[in-house]
Amino acid sequence: MKNFYITTAIDYANGSPHLGHAYEKVLTDVIARYARMSGKSVKFLTGLDEHGQKVQQSAQKSGIEPSKFCDEQAEKFVSMCGLLEISNDDYIRTSQPRHKEVVRKILQDLFDKGEIYKAEYKGFYSARQEQFLQKKDMVDGKWPEIFGEVSEITESNYFFRLGKYQPWLVEYIKSHEDFIFPRFRAKQVIEFLKEPLNDLCISRPRDRLEWGIPLPFDENYVTYVWFDALVNYISAVGYGTEEFGKYWPADFHVIGKDILVPPHSVYWPIMLHAIGAEMPKSLLVHGWWLSSGEKMSKSLGNVVNPLELVDMFGADAFRYFLMREMNVGQDSDFSSDLFLTRYTSDLGNDLGNLLSRLLNMTQRYADSTVPSPDAPDGEPEITLKKQAADCAAEYFKLCDGMQFHIALERIFGLIRGINRYAELRAPWKLAKDESAEGKALLKTTLFTMAESLRISAVMLSPVMPAISGKICSHIGCELPKNFGNSLEWGETLSGKKVGDKVILFPRPAEK
């Protein structure tokens, strides 16, 4: 069976991990976990983009070799993945031999086929962006800030024949509606492709940039970072070997909107087409986390350090917030106040208290054992069961459509429904009722609360794997590895011992 292959962008090694990196990994992880639970065999790749001018400069500033610098950076990024409970199966670094070999092989193949040629380049160059510029990139006669210092240079370089594939690419994007998600992003690509496409300069002279992959046919040059970095998606899964077909084409490349045009929507499809490989099935393009309306960036000093939040509130609470607040594809503004509100109200009050109450009451009124339902369903049970069934049915549609924020809204609607149900049935009153009906209804109530909480926990598990596991183990079951029929109402909890009282989301002060 072909694997469900999903990737994130590989992070630049020259910065520190921030909220944007964290979000992309969490989003990809949620999709990967959801796919695993849907019975797919998943390969989830993430990694580090190590070559290029900026990394070389950062290493120089720290007074160490680029490779040593990248080792240190890799440690930070890998450790972030661990803290965020990212379930990646592989971590690629572009300095690894397995990657460099594939980049060189592809370059040689393209060179042999005449797809790469040498020519003299005369024009503008931004060292900060490691990018050649044209007059049309100017705004009001000036180079935009993001390019830093722009100089005029003349040098010989190698070029990849991008331009000749332009008609093919336009046709491909127009005829494959699922290639770019959300769809409105495809329009931006088509818009970009209305201008004639220049061939891509894929080399940098070694006397300017040492830290890169040397071209196999001319060791005086190293490979342009984007040509190098994009190849990670295939070098990690054995391009050129029999293994490759088990993974490729990728199901999703998860990327931010800033790297769709041109790298992922123009360079990458054309590179793949030129080497005769299939297209990835979909580019999943997420928006940005903003801080007071601006993109977080080191130079603006408005970067949120995800690790501080994880440290204070736990990975699952952080993951919940990111997935609850971001409509995949749109931008979202980060606010600590909103984070705290979600933490105390959705997580602490609605979910955490529900589990505490249920455990408490089961301990006091049912000898710490989930009872079997004993009374016929009344109106409150019918209503809650219907809400659980509707929520489960909608859940798959919403997750398949990447609408995780709505799926979470619905699940928390169900959780509030369980709390309402508890208020209505008031087990603490039923416990005082000595009649047979009272006793039977108490059993039904405790069971109904436990079963609907179980279903909620299973649905929450791709987003909050540790918390969901904890809920399940406290109400006497295990988190299933597969959805199977686990979202259907059943009676498997009857007779199960519940765990001791637990505080799922302590107030920060209580930690």
The residue ranges that bind ligand MSP (CB under 6 A) are 9-12, 20-21, 23-24, 49, 229-230, 232, 255-256, 258-259, 288-289, 295-296
Nearer to ligand MSP, 23 or 158 (CB): 23
Nearer to ligand MSP, 20 or 417 (CB): 20
CA dihedral (181, 47, 193, 151) in degrees, to 10, reads 150
Nearer to ligand MSP, 103 or 193 (CB): 103
Q: What minimum distance in Å lies between the beta carbon of 226 and ligand MSP?
A: 7
Nearer to ligand MSP, 256 or 462 (CB): 256
Contacts 24+ apart (CB under 8 A), 334-338: 334/19, 334/289, 334/290, 334/291, 334/296, 334/304
The amino acid sitting at 360 is: N
DSSP SS3 for 392: helix
Phi, psi of 120 (to 5 degrees): -85, 130
Q: If you search the block for the tokens 């001319």, which residue do you land on?
A: 218
Nearer to ligand MSP, 23 or 343 (CB): 23
Nearer to ligand MSP, 114 or 301 (CB): 301
d(CA 56, CA 207): 13
Q: What minimum distance in Å lies between the beta carbon of 494 and ligand MSP?
A: 45
Nearer to ligand MSP, 273 or 295 (CB): 295
| Residue of minimal Cβ distance to ligand MSP | 256
Nearer to ligand MSP, 232 or 387 (CB): 232
Going by C-alpha positions, the residue among 285, 338, 349 that lies closest to residue 309 is 338
Return the half-sphere exposure (C-beta side, CA atoms, 13 A cut-off) of residue 402. Answer: 20
Q: What minimum distance in Å lies between the beta carbon of 27 and ligand MSP?
A: 9
d(CA 334, CA 295): 10
Q: Are the C-beta atoms of residues 498 and 361 closer than 8 Å to each other?
A: no
Nearer to ligand MSP, 20 or 314 (CB): 20
Nearer to ligand MSP, 33 or 99 (CB): 99
CA dihedral (72, 229, 82, 480) in degrees, to 10, reads -170
Q: What minimum distance in Å lies between the beta carbon of 265 and ligand MSP?
A: 12
Q: What minimum distance in Å lies between the beta carbon of 177 and ligand MSP?
A: 22
d(CA 86, CA 24): 11
Q: What minimum distance in Å lies between the beta carbon of 62 and ligand MSP?
A: 18
Q: Are the C-beta atoms of residues 382 and 341 closer than 8 Å to each other?
A: no
Residue-wise burial string across 253-290, b where 16 or more C-beta atoms lie within 10 A, e elsewhere: bbbbbebbbbbbbbbbbbbbebbebebbbbbbbbbbbb
What value does the CA radius of gyration of the chain take, rounded to a whole number of Å? 27
Nearer to ligand MSP, 24 or 115 (CB): 24
Surface-to-core class of residue 194, CB atoms within 10 Å of its CB (0-12 exposed, 13-18 middle, 19+ buried): exposed
d(CA 250, CA 269): 12
Q: Are the C-beta atoms of residues 209 and 56 closer than 8 Å to each other?
A: yes
Q: What minimum distance in Å lies between the beta carbon of 364 and ligand MSP?
A: 47
Q: What minimum distance in Å lies between the beta carbon of 287 and ligand MSP?
A: 7
The amino acid sitting at 107 is: L
Please give the helix or strand (H or E) that residue 131 lies within, else none: strand 131-133
Helix segments in 302-461, DSSP class H:
306-313, 315-325, 336-341, 353-366, 379-400, 404-425, 427-430, 436-460
Return the half-sphere exposure (C-beta side, CA atoms, 13 A cut-off) of residue 240. Answer: 13
Nearer to ligand MSP, 42 or 234 (CB): 234
